[in-house]
Structure 1
């Protein structure tokens, strides 16, 4: 299993996995399949561009050359908030769940963020209807600091999110 930072050359494969995630787990992400499928290949490439590698990016886990899991991050803007980074878009294909791949992806992202030297807090939001994901993040050292009611809406159904953080010592 290889885990590495994704670049524009991974755009097509990344888009396939991202769209799969949005179809299989629509309530777990802020984006929708309908919106994301409209992106052009150039837009996917731009999303994976590493022009500002300390500001945002994605990591991919590969099995036999195929992306089987992803995790993204973006740094908060503004001088007073630049020490915080948000983890986004974590997804592992069903065929690789339970294999430790999710922990590998999270560790790769955390190691990268620690290596930047000026990040000391990692945040994420997770829908409360996914207790397995909440437990996973807790096992990775994240603690809950709040809840957002009705954070996401899919049709007429609302989803609450647990807001979690990990402090670097």
Structure 2
């Protein structure tokens, strides 16, 4: 398995796996397939063009040359919050779940954020209906700091999110 920072050349594969995740696990993401299918490729390229020194980006895990999973991050912008980053868009294709892909993605991203030297707190939100993800995040050292009731709504169904953090 190879885990690496994704760049503009990876746009088509990133779009494909992101849309797959939104269809496969719609309750796990704040965005929807219908929203992101309409996002122009230029926006994806912009997101991937910030390079490793940017304040946001994606890592991908490749197994035998195939993109098996992704994880993204963004750094908070305000002067008082620039020491924090949020993890977003974590998704592992079903065929690779339970194989260590998710842990490798998280380890790589946390190591990258810590190495930067200007981020010391990493946050994420996970739907409470995803106990496997919560267990993984706890195993990686994340601690809960609150539950947002009715954080997401799909049709008439609400989903709560557990907010978690880790100090680097």
Instruction: Answer whether contact 1:72 1:90 (CA < 8 A) is retained.
Output: yes
RMSD after superposition:
1.1
Q: CA deviation at 1:50?
A: 1.5
The residue number in structure 1 matching 2:57 is: 57
Q: CA deviation at 1:8?
A: 0.8
Describe how 1:28-43 pairs up with structure 2 within 5 A.
28-43=28-43
- What's the CA shift string for 1:49-100, capped at 9, x where partnerless? 1157331000000122221100000001111100000000000001111111
The residue number in structure 2 matching 1:3 is: 3
Question: Alignment partner of 2:138: what SS?
Answer: helix
Instruction: Answer whether contact 1:22 1:29 (CA < 8 A) is retained.
Output: yes
Rounded Cα–Cα distance in structure 1 between residues aligned with 2:167 and 2:48: 26
In structure 1, stretches of 5+ residues that fail to align are none
In structure 2, stretches of 5+ residues that fail to align are none
Instruction: Answer whether contact 1:13 1:66 (CA < 8 A) is retained.
Output: no
Rounded Cα–Cα distance in structure 1 between residues aligned with 2:20 and 2:30: 14
Change (3 A) 1:128 1:53: same
TM-score with structure 2 setting the length:
0.97
Rounded Cα–Cα distance in structure 2 between residues aligned with 1:151 and 1:23: 19
Question: Alignment partner of 2:145: what SS?
Answer: strand
Question: Alignment partner of 1:109: what SS?
Answer: helix
Rounded Cα–Cα distance in structure 2 between residues aligned with 1:101 and 1:89: 14
Question: Alignment partner of 1:35: what SS?
Answer: helix
Instruction: Answer whether contact 1:54 1:116 (CA < 8 A) is retained.
Output: no
Instruction: Answer whether contact 1:76 1:85 (CA < 8 A) is retained.
Output: yes
The residue number in structure 1 matching 2:74 is: 74
The residue number in structure 2 matching 1:94 is: 94
Instruction: Answer whether contact 2:7 2:51 (CA < 8 A) is retained.
Output: no
Rounded Cα–Cα distance in structure 1 between residues aligned with 2:146 and 2:49: 32
Question: Alignment partner of 1:14: what SS?
Answer: helix
Rounded Cα–Cα distance in structure 1 between residues aligned with 2:87 and 2:60: 14
